[in-house]
Amino acid sequence: MLRILGILLFSSLALAQTTPHHYTLPATPATVAWGYYDAKATPVLRIHSGDTVEFNTLITNSPTGLEKAGVPPDQVQQSLRDIYKEVTNKGPGGHILNGPVYIEEAEPGDTLEVRIQKIDLAILYAYNAFGPTRGFLPEDFPYRKMKIIPLDRERMVAKFAPGIEIPLHPFFGSMGVAPPEAFGRVDSAPPSLHAGNMDNKELVAGTTLYLPVWTKGALFEVGDGHVGQGNGEVDITALETSLTGTLQFIVHKKTGLKYPRAETPTHYISMGFHDELYAATKIAVREMIDFLVEEKHLSRDDAYMLTSVAGDVDITELVDGNKGVHVMLPKAIFIK
């Protein structure tokens, strides 16, 4: 029976409705969590395992900031204006996240499988920005700058500058569940064991994310749309934009998953987050070793060796408080 990243799939452990439902969740003052993940947050949507949700997420910047950077007022989404005008329950972070979504069957100790089915552009521009106290090199760039970057939907490129085009690969910088209740309300910026602001550019359409559930209902949130990013995200922003994404949710009971994992059509992915890069790397490598022992039935010695000879240890991001590291292991090496 097929097992993927510590989760028994297509079995009685995977709870899904006979007839799944599809929902749409726009970003409005009543449907967003501004800057936090929290086990005590009030759900804005309740669904069942097997259901899909289309999320209409918003760019994380103020209407005033976008206009000052050169976006025509009529191209600033009205929903963004409404949220900036009406939402008062916000912080400590700055991300505008859709949710939380309550998955009825999810309980602590379960795993929430998030199938990323589709991600589309919602607007035809993105921005990149840095500031004097942010990013990896604030001492070199002690001032603020924002650049508006046109997007070509037909050719799926960003027109960064004359003679420079960047291929678009849309993904959500932040996808996560509520952390353990003892954590309280956590800042949306640092990723952790609840996932959140992972900024992992591998999480495009066709990828599956696996999240440990820490509180009843899981309380999933999503946002921080990106259409391109380099590993490291060194100035603290990517190609930031508004996105529409369709995600399917499946609950797997009592799996005991302790850390976010993912898989693409070609790779298994483990992750690690910590305020020290070295410690984050150790978490990600150990997570891959655990996967290989549990799911590929390797000895710990062979799992360690295989990760060394076939796994790529990549820096996900360096700028969000907790650093992110992920290990990419190709599926093609498993010939059976």
Alpha helix locations (H) across the chain? 63-68, 78-86, 277-295, 300-310
Co-location of 305 and 232 in the same domain: no
* 161 plus 105 within the same structural domain: yes
Which CATH number belongs to the domain containing residue 297 in this structure? Answer: 3.10.28.20
Structural contact between residues 176 and 209, judged by C-beta atoms closer than 8 angstroms: no
- Inside any domain, residue 262: no
**Are residues 283 and 273 in contact, defined by beta-carbon separation less than 8 angstroms?**
yes
On whether residue 297 sits in a domain, the answer given is: yes
129 and 84 in a common domain: yes
Residue 165 shares a structural domain with residue 195: yes
User: Are 137 and 169 within one domain?
Assistant: yes
Does residue 315 lie within any of the structural domains? yes
| Secondary structure class of 336 (helix, strand, coil) | coil
Tell me whether residue 40 is in a domain: yes
> Does the residue 316 lie in any domain?
yes
Domain count, the chain: 2
Q: Are residues 287 and 324 in the same domain?
A: yes
Q: Which long-range contacts link 287-291 to residues 24+ away (Cβ below 8 Å)? A: 287/259, 287/261, 287/327, 288/327, 288/329, 290/6, 291/5, 291/6, 291/261
Residue-level pLDDT, tens digit, the chain, 336 residues: 334 444 444 333 455 556 899 999 999 999 999 999 999 999 999 999 999 999 999 999 999 999 999 999 999 999 999 999 999 999 999 999 999 999 999 999 999 999 999 999 999 999 999 999 999 999 999 999 999 999 999 999 999 999 999 999 999 999 999 999 999 999 999 999 999 999 999 999 999 999 999 999 999 999 999 999 999 999 999 999 999 999 999 999 999 999 999 999 999 999 999 999 999 999 999 999 999 999 999 999 999 999 999 999 999 999 999 999 999 999 999 997
Identify the pLDDT of residue 17: 57
The pTM of this model reads 0.94
Q: What domain range is 28 assigned to?
A: 3-257
pLDDT at residue 9, rounded to an integer: 40
Considering the domain architecture, whether residues 215 and 121 belong to the same structural domain is answered as yes
Is residue 202 domain-shared with residue 303, that is, in the same domain? no
d(CA 275, CA 85): 34
Q: Which helix (H) or strand (E) holds 263?
A: strand 261-263
Q: What pLDDT shows up at residue 68?
A: 97
